[in-house]
Amino acid sequence: MNDMNDTHEKTDTPRTGNSERAEGTFRSARIDLDAVRRNLAAVRDFVGRGVDTAPRVMAVVKANAYGHGAIAVAAAAQEAGADWLGVADIGEALELRRNGITAPLLAWLHGPDADFSAAIEAGVGLGISSAAQLRQVTDAAAALSRTASVQLKLDSGLSRNGLPESDWAAVFAAARAAELTGSITVDGLFSHLANASAEADAAQCAQFDTGIAAARRAGLNPTLLHIAATAAALTEPAARYTMVRIGIGLYGLSPWGDGLPDGLELTPVMTLAARVAAVRRVRAGTAASYDYTWRAERETTLALVPLGYADGIPRQASGRASVSVNGAQYPIVGRVAMDQFIVDVGDAAVQVGDEVVLFGDPRSGVPSAEDWADAAGTINYEIVTRIGQRVPRSIR
C-alpha cells in the first residue's frame, strides 16, 4: 500500500500562549531518570533480602537502554550504584565510555570484525562465546601489553551464543594459559535462561553449575557468576548467584506483563506523548485511513496523532489500542500509517495542540506499554525498545 503523505484533513489553527506547545513537544518520549534510580534501588533491595551477601546488580542498557536513551540511563544507573552496566556490543560500550561512563561495562555479542583492541583500551569487559573470540582477545591484549577483562559465556540450554559444553574443557584450559601470561583475567562466567518454565530454568542452572565446577577445576577463579535477568532475579533466588542482570525491570516494566512479586514496586520510566496535529468532524459512514477498515457508526470527531510505524508505533495495534487525550482514553481507528494515526474522540472538545499520551504509568490513568503490547500481540520490551529516533527523548 502506497504510504504517501496522507494528511488529507483540514488542520485547525494551533492555540498559542502555552510554552508546552513549543516545537520540541510535537512528539516526545519523556524519560524519568529518578524512576530509573528508584527501580534500581528497589530491585537491589528485593534480591538482597534474607541473605548475608546480596548479589551484585548489572543494569542492562543495551539497545539504547531499551529505547530510553543509553547515555542518560547509564549515567543515572551509575549514580545509583549499579555494580556493572551491560550492553550487547562493543560499539555501544565505546559510546558510553566516550560520554563519561566509567562504571564496569560488559559487552557480549561480537561480529567477526569486532574491535577488541579498542574495547580493551577503554576498559570494557568482554563476554566470550567461542574459542576464536578468546584467541582474538588474547592476541589483542598481548599486542597492547594490556590485560583484558573476560567473562566466559556458557550455553546452558538456550542454544544461542555461548560456549557449548563440548568446548568447555579446551576453552577453559586456553583461558587459564592466557591468564598465566597476563593477557586476560577471567572475571566471570555467565549464561542466559530461556524462562520456559521453572523446571527448565532449574535444569539450566544445574548445567551452569556444571560449567562453574569445570572452570574451577581448570584453575579459573571467576567471582562474577550470573545467569538471571529480571524475571529469574525476582522469582528464583537460586538463580541469583553473585550477580543479577536487570533489564526490563530497570525501566519499570514487568517481565511477565501482568504484575510484580509482592513487596516490589517499580515505576515505568518512559511516557510516550504527542500533540494533536489536526481535528475534524465527520458524518456517520465516513471512512478513515488506508484500506477503509473503519467507518464511523455515528457523527464523531477524529483527532490526528503525529506518530506512526516509522516511530515504532506497531501497525498491528491498528483498531485495537487506545490513547489518553486530556485525561480520557479513546480508541485508535483505522490503520496506523507511517507517520500518523487517527483517534475517535466522539463528542469531546479536543483541539489541535492537546496532549495525547500513548503509554506511561497506568497509575496516572493512561494506557501502559503492556496495554499496547496486548493490542499488538507482542511484549512490552518491544513496545519501548522500538520507539524511533525521530521521537526526541525528553530527559528529566
Question: What would the DSSP string read from start to end of 208-242?
Answer: HHHHHHHHHHTT----EEE---HHHHHH-GGG-TT
160 is in an annotated binding site: yes
Q: Which residue in the block uniquely carries the three cell numbers 488506508?
A: 290
Closest CA to 327 of 296, 303, 350: 350
Instruction: Tell me the chain's radius of gyration from C-alpha atoms.
Output: 24
**Cα–Cα dist 95/90, whole Å:** 9
- List Cα–Cα distances, 120 to 6, 144, 214, 216, in angstroms: 50, 9, 26, 25
Catalytic option among 66, 153, 290, 309: 290
Catalytic residue list contains 66: no
Sheet strands side by side (includes 341-346): 278-282, 300-305, 341-346, 328-333, 322-325, 355-359, 270-275, 27-31, 393-395
Q: How many CA atoms lie within 13 A of 357 on its CB side?
A: 19
Contacts of residue 53, defined as CB under 8 A and 6 or more positions apart, other chains included, come to none
Distance of CA 261 to the CA centre of its chain: 20
The bridge status of strand 294-295 relative to strand 287-288 is antiparallel
∠ CA 19-21-22 to the nearest 5 degrees? 70
Q: Which of 62, 66, 241, 381 is catalytic?
A: 62
The phi, psi pair for 186, rounded to 5°, reads -90, 95
* 116: DSSP letter: H
Which H or E element spans position 233? helix 230-235
Q: Are strands 27-31 and 328-333 parallel, antiparallel or unpaired?
A: unpaired
Burial profile 95-104: b = 16 or more Cβ within 10 angstroms, e = fewer: ebbeeebebb
259 by Cβ neighbours in 10 Å (0-12 / 13-18 / 19+) ranks as exposed
Which is it for strands 184-190 and 243-246: parallel, antiparallel or unpaired? unpaired
44 assigned to a ligand binding site: no
Helix (H) / strand (E) element for 145: namely none
Task: Specify the length of the chain in residues.
Answer: 396
Q: Which residues are annotated as a binding site for substrate?
A: 160, 338
Q: Which residues are annotated as a binding site?
A: 160, 338
Positions marked active-site: 62, 290
